Structures are given as structure tokens and as C-alpha cells.
Structure 1
Amino acid sequence: MPNYKNLECLLAGSSSARRYFLSLPVPLQLRLHANSAAIQTAHSLHQAARILEYQALFEK
């Protein structure tokens, strides 16, 4: 699994990561972009999405 510099590079270089990202709700996409530097692999993208979705449950 290749490492990318950040989320933007991951999305540019991996069509499967891009498809997954675009399947997520826009508010979650925005939160992921805010943490772009920490997301360097498809695995970290999936992990971050799960964590942020879980956190959102407690913010309502």
C-alpha cells in the first residue's frame, strides 16, 4: 500500500480511495480535508472516516 504526502495526493493517485472519499457525506469530506496531512494511505483514510463519523455522533 503506497504512502502519499497527504489526502489530496492520495485522492489524485488512487482511484479506489477517490471513489470511497466521494461516497462519503460532504460534511465528513470537509472534516477529512481539515486533517489532510495525517491521511497518507487508503487505510488511514478509512480509519479517519470511521473516527470522525463516531465523533459526530456525540456532537449532535
Structure 2
Amino acid sequence: MIVPIERIVNKAKKQKYAIGAFNTSNLEITLAIVRAAVKMKSPVIIQTSESAVTYSNA
């Protein structure tokens, strides 16, 4: 699920935990990050470039 970053950051501040942020430039790594986050029931921040998004046709 995609949510505004403020929502997860504010919750993390209140509950005093960190959010992992991952820089990715290909679909395989992005999928691995998302699958791990789902498995751990943990929010993540995925960082990428416009050119990577364009290349993936997302």
C-alpha cells in the first residue's frame, strides 16, 4: 500500500521506531524490498529516480 510519507513518519515518531529507506534502481531489488516489508509487517521508504520509473514503465 502506498501512503503519504508524513503518515508513516508521524506514527514512527510517536511510537519511537525507525523506518528503513532503500534506494533502488531495478524491479528485482524493489520487489525484494517490498516482499520483506510485507513479511515483517513493517513500513519502508523506497527511493528511486524518475529515469528508473520511466524505464520500468511503472
Is the TM value for this pair above 0.5? no
Question: Which structure's residues are more often strand, by fraction?
Answer: 2
Task: Provide the TM-score with structure 2 as the length reference.
Answer: 0.36
- TM-score, normalisation: structure 1: 0.35
Structure whose residues are more often helix by fraction: 1
